Structure 1
Amino acid sequence: MSFDHLPAPLQAALSGRGYAAPTPVQAAVLQPEAAGRDLLVSAQTGSGKTVAYGLALAPELLGEAARLPAAGAPLALVVAPTRELALQVKAELTWLYAPAGGRIVSCVGGMDPVAEKRLLMQGAHIVVGTPGRLRDHLERNNLAPAALRAVVLDEADEMLDLGFREELEAILDEVPAERRTLMFSATVPRGIAALAKSYQRDALRIEATSQGEAHGDIEYRAALVAPHELERAVVNVLRLENPRIAMIFCATRATVARLRGNLSERGFSTVALSGELSQTERLRALQSLRDGHARICVATDVAARGIDLPDLGLVIHAELPRDPETLLHRSGRTGRAGRKGVSLLLVPHIRRRLAERLLQAAKVKASWGPAPSADAIRARDAERLAEQALALAAEEPAEQDLAIARRLMADPALAGRGTEALAAALVRVLRAPLPAPEELSEIQERPAPRGTFPRDPGPRDPRPTPEEGGGQGVWFRMDVGRAQNADPRWLLPFLCRRGHVTRQEIGRMRIMERETQFEVAPYAAGRFATAARRAVGEDANIRVEPMQPMGRPPGKRPQRA
């Protein structure tokens, strides 16, 4: 399949953008059996679907003509779930139809509706917009639907997820019944199938990407971390990977704001995308990434929908996605247009099983391992700094730089060690802007069954262990006992929350009158102690602390939780 049969203006536009052959979704919509028909297309983000439906609209827009007629009432309407996606679609269709004289107008929430009305009155060939704003323009008679020959619903599943069913139905009810309807969706759940049945006629079903199949250009990884070290792990991943652009996903706006602040404080050039930002602020953040002024974007799921950053090479899930579709959507921000990308899940070790189920449901295979260590980052820095210094040395020096170098070499302070000292100074200068790596706890990939702790894989904990009393773990105490109605049924979940450990990492438990003593796996004891000290919230007043090893109280049989 090639672009040879397309109108000459579109061929010129594609050639100018370096398109040599169609992607699978583009080839599918250009097949002869798709011509003139309604289409229901499954295609993942980054598959070239915007250009695909832009090409599929050519018969309705151009016909046999070499150029579009003078702009008037729109001929095609594209509906997208978010402002960012709508503006990106406008940009894509603008270059695609520029040689044909195309005029594309966007209508999105957050922009001046009066300015949009003025542009609509001046005429357009294609209107791209969000459901709410398009419905508003239709109801105010700013957007004339009578001449529409085609309607495209882009990321239809996302629009339903975001609650736009009523707006979509209102728009589709207003446009001419004989129009062509193209629906593009990553998945086709019941809601999309029902919408297609109601508003499409004899639609051709195209599966350009199998449902739930991960994008082939994305490498999935998963790293186990201690729950209280997620932000430190983010720092180490960014330092080790050193991507041109990275996107970090969080579940809430508050987490986005906190993580963005912490990364900026450590020296990363970071922007944030969340629902509380104005459209101007969001566009400014995206432009900073494209211009190279920022390299890290911390975002919520909704704020990042539809974003296309060609140089985005790394996606970090700082908080696990809520479902397989969200995992694939987040990951689809990278690995686009034939480029390779990495999608990395940071998994609190107590949530490993949840993460495994999520990956399985998304039909994704991830390689598991630890988060990057500080030593690994220092080793990578040594390689990079050496390469950087050699590259600088290979450049032809300016005369003024040579003059400074000669003066330094002649300085008595460098006698006998001039070259080595200057090279070391250059390395220090190159290293100075780099954020310091974080020391992370070592995480066991598979905890042993509760009560049978494995040997500590790392350095031995300096605190004594109760081997003399027959135990194998590190003992702690908390100031709650039988007098406070202590019971294993609530003590065990409390300790797991408080110390960021799993049930398997809590061993024997002794409930006394005014305190409870319990055992923690040796490899988890340091992590438990750190988390317990940082307790906040409702139960922060309960004191939890390490203790000296002690044997079983006389006459008492230890209670197992």
Structure 2
Amino acid sequence: MSEQTTVDFRALGLAEPLLKAIEESGYTTPTPIQAQAIPLALERKDLMAGAQTGTGKTAAFSLPILHTLLPLASTSTSPAKHPIRALVLAPTRELAIQVYDNIKTYAKHTPLRSLVVYGGVDIKTQTPILKTGVEILVATPGRLLDHVEQKTLSLNQVQFLVLDEADRMLDMGFMPDLKRILALLPKQRQNLMFSATFSDEIKKLADAFLNQPTLIEVARSNATNDNVEQKAYLVNSDRKQRFLVQLLKQYASQQVIIFTKTKLSASRLARALERDEIPCTAIHGDKSQKERIEALDAFKAGSIHALVATDVAARGLDISDLPLVINYEISTSPEDYVHRIGRTGRAGAKGVAISLIDEEETKYFDEIEKLIKKQIPKEKASGSAASAGSSRPVKSAKSLKKEDAWFYQPYEPSSAAATVETPKVIAPVAKPSTAKRKVVAALLGGFGFKAAPRAAQNKKRVAGKAREKEVQATSPAVEVESSQ
């Protein structure tokens, strides 16, 4: 479908309460994905939509759903009047919360109720609200199935199913959970699938649950945002950290998300940056939901300069005006690169994405360039950060020979050592007596020896000293010959 131009949201035929909420949010013109998806969704067609992250996909599916459900809205307090009619599945807690916040904003002038459920928190805190009834439920797959098993919700009246970031769902291994959830839904429903990238697995998933879908792509599949300037630096792994510190000081006035591959490296890097007096924190899968929310709130409030994150945060983080993203470690999945740098340059804003590549990661970056069909300019890391692996500059052997030639001269004995004439006497070392060894052994617990009487021991000791003096008196002296 060709891209179309609209004057404002009113041209899309949305209900007045929704238009009012949109205007209060400061939006007047729909994005390309919204302009194409909303009219088709209002016609109750299944959609397979692909768009770059940060282009307004949430509004593209939530606004037509709210418009369609508005005639069914009720002000009754009876839970039966508020069955779950729309189910939105998201791969991560952060994305689920973001989608819920947007839906809540768009529906604030309507009686429609919404709720988000996700893991990492006590399920009992979510159950009372579910029992009061909600029309729109946003959920992560695992927690949704938890509620199904506890029979705290029913999905038999669902009219809309949305899979947001469907490719990420497959990456995270949610396919078995998705099949279980699809089996619980009514056959007659509208399906909307949104994804930033399309792969063969995604197309197979679309064939499994979409009914003659309309394909929408507002940009080439797996493309990156043209608003984002992409840079890459070649830097040794042992110098990455110091080079990163220099970059952060260079962009000191801007907030940044720094991506790592593992939870361990994220935690270590965050601690290292704090030692360099850079306000930062880490966010990854081992953090509790409370810790993750607190970290995001602090970052959004500006009290934290850098947020170190794993790919769990590559999707779902909606931070307005984020100017910079740094790939400290290159992901082995090329698609994750698209989502990482999609955190910046959102809603038409400018952004910068910087990747730090060591020798082992060049093969992964080659795959990224193949995926996005774009060559990213690379520079060899230089300056103080590139050589910051040690506190002193490293000198070549040639310069050392020139500056410190004395160390390379052959050894010659000094005159002081050559004029030594004083003879030295080397006396033979007497071996310890058998009696002494027997006493020690007896003190240590035996070894089969019996301790000799003290008088006998003293007698033998005196005899031993006498023999030593006799040997010293008869031994010839050893002279040191002069070298001259």
| TM-score, structure 2 as length reference | 0.75
SS of the aligned residue for 1:343 comes to: strand
Q: Deviations over 1:423-453 (max 9, x none)?
A: xxxxxxxxxxxxxxx46379xxxxxxxxxxx
1:128 to 138, 160, 164: 138
Mapped contact 1:246–1:315 kept (Cα < 8 A): yes
Q: Percent identity at matched positions?
A: 35
Q: Deviations over 1:393-421 (max 9, x none)?
A: xxxxxxxxxxxxxxxxxxxxxxxxxxxxx
Q: CA deviation at 1:27?
A: 0.7
Question: Partners in 2 of 1:203 and 1:6 — Cα distance?
Answer: 22
SS of the aligned residue for 1:142 comes to: coil
Structure 1: where are the runs of 5+ without partners? 375-437, 443-458, 468-561
Question: Partners in 2 of 1:130 and 1:290 — Cα distance?
Answer: 23
Question: Partners in 2 of 1:303 and 1:33 — Cα distance?
Answer: 29
Q: CA deviation at 1:33?
A: 7.8
Q: CA deviation at 1:195?
A: 2.2
Q: CA deviation at 1:345?
A: 0.5
Question: What is the match of residue 196 of structure 1?
Answer: 206
Q: CA deviation at 1:12?
A: 0.6
Q: CA deviation at 1:301?
A: 1.1
Question: What is the match of residue 240 of structure 2?
Answer: 230
Structure number with the bigger relative contact order (C-alpha 8 A, sep ≥ 6) is 2
Mapped contact 2:14–2:67 kept (Cα < 8 A): no
Question: Partners in 1 of 2:220 and 2:324 — Cα distance?
Answer: 23
Question: Partners in 1 of 2:360 and 2:155 — Cα distance?
Answer: 54
SS of the aligned residue for 1:144 comes to: coil
Distance 1:35 1:373, change over 3 A: farther
Distance 1:463 1:364, change over 3 A: same
Q: CA deviation at 1:69?
A: 5.4
Q: CA deviation at 1:43?
A: 1.8
Question: What is the match of residue 264 of structure 1?
Answer: 274
Q: CA deviation at 1:68?
A: 5.6
Q: CA deviation at 1:212?
A: 1.6
Letter in 2 for 1:11: L
Question: Partners in 2 of 1:169 and 1:350 — Cα distance?
Answer: 38
Instruction: Out of 139-148 and 244-253, give the one that drifted further.
Output: 139-148
SS of the aligned residue for 1:147 comes to: coil
Q: Deviations over 1:217-253 (max 9, x none)?
A: 2110011223211001111111112253201111111
1:464 to 381, 398, 401: 398
Letter in 2 for 1:333: R
Question: Partners in 2 of 1:306 and 1:166 — Cα distance?
Answer: 22
Mapped contact 1:313–1:334 kept (Cα < 8 A): yes
Q: CA deviation at 1:59?
A: 4.1
Q: CA deviation at 1:311?
A: 3.1
Q: How is 1:463-502 mapped onto 2 (pairs within 5 angstroms)?
A: 463-464=397-398
1:293 to 276, 285, 303: 303
Are 2:380 and 1:440 equivalent residues in the alignment? no
Q: CA deviation at 1:11?
A: 0.6
SS of the aligned residue for 1:307 comes to: coil
Are 2:259 and 1:240 equivalent residues in the alignment? no
Are 2:218 and 1:208 equivalent residues in the alignment? yes
Q: How is 1:363-442 mapped onto 2 (pairs within 5 angstroms)?
A: 363-371=373-381, 373-374=383-384, 438=385, 440=387
Mapped contact 1:359–1:365 kept (Cα < 8 A): yes
Question: What is the match of residue 24 of structure 1?
Answer: 32
Question: What is the match of residue 320 of structure 2?
Answer: 310
Question: What is the match of residue 69 of structure 2?
Answer: 61
Mapped contact 1:34–1:204 kept (Cα < 8 A): no
Are 2:331 and 1:321 equivalent residues in the alignment? yes
Letter in 2 for 1:126: I
Letter in 1 for 2:398: P
Question: Partners in 2 of 1:157 and 1:226 — Cα distance?
Answer: 32
Question: Partners in 2 of 1:175 and 1:373 — Cα distance?
Answer: 59
Q: How is 1:337-348 mapped onto 2 (pairs within 5 angstroms)?
A: 337-348=347-358
SS of the aligned residue for 1:312 comes to: coil
| TM-score, structure 1 as length reference | 0.65
Distance 1:460 1:83, change over 3 A: closer
Mapped contact 2:335–2:368 kept (Cα < 8 A): no
Q: How is 1:55-134 mapped onto 2 (pairs within 5 angstroms)?
A: 55-63=63-71, 70=76, 72-134=82-144
Question: Partners in 2 of 1:466 and 1:440 — Cα distance?
Answer: 18
Distance 1:327 1:304, change over 3 A: closer
Q: How is 1:21-60 mapped onto 2 (pairs within 5 angstroms)?
A: 21-32=29-40, 35-60=43-68
Distance 1:439 1:216, change over 3 A: closer
Question: Partners in 2 of 1:54 and 1:148 — Cα distance?
Answer: 15
Question: Partners in 2 of 1:174 and 1:39 — Cα distance?
Answer: 21
Q: Deviations over 1:469-522 (max 9, x none)?
A: xxxxxxxxxxxxxxxxxxxxxxxxxxxxxxxxxxxxxxxxxxxxxxxxxxxxxx
1:280 to 264, 281, 290: 290
Distance 1:439 1:369, change over 3 A: closer
Instruction: Out of 162-171 and 234-243, give the one that drifted further.
Output: 234-243
Q: Deviations over 1:36-93 (max 9, x none)?
A: 1111111221111011111131343125x8x665461122110000111101111111
Question: What is the match of residue 460 of structure 2?
Answer: none
Q: CA deviation at 1:348?
A: 2.0
Mapped contact 1:313–1:335 kept (Cα < 8 A): yes
Q: Deviations over 1:344-383 (max 9, x none)?
A: 0011256546534432332234232244734xxxxxxxxx
Question: Partners in 2 of 1:329 and 1:352 — Cα distance?
Answer: 19
SS of the aligned residue for 2:397 comes to: coil
Q: CA deviation at 1:296?
A: 0.5
Letter in 1 for 2:39: Q
Mapped contact 1:72–1:124 kept (Cα < 8 A): yes
Mapped contact 2:54–2:347 kept (Cα < 8 A): yes
Coordinate RMSD, CA, aligned: 2.5
Letter in 2 for 1:80: A
Q: CA deviation at 1:25?
A: 0.8
Question: What is the match of residue 21 of structure 2?
Answer: 13
Mapped contact 2:54–2:343 kept (Cα < 8 A): yes
Q: CA deviation at 1:169?
A: 1.1
Mapped contact 2:314–2:339 kept (Cα < 8 A): no
Letter in 1 for 2:46: D
Q: Deviations over 1:500-558 (max 9, x none)?
A: xxxxxxxxxxxxxxxxxxxxxxxxxxxxxxxxxxxxxxxxxxxxxxxxxxxxxxxxxxx
Distance 1:372 1:61, change over 3 A: farther
Q: CA deviation at 1:184?
A: 0.7
Question: What is the match of residue 452 of structure 1?
Answer: none
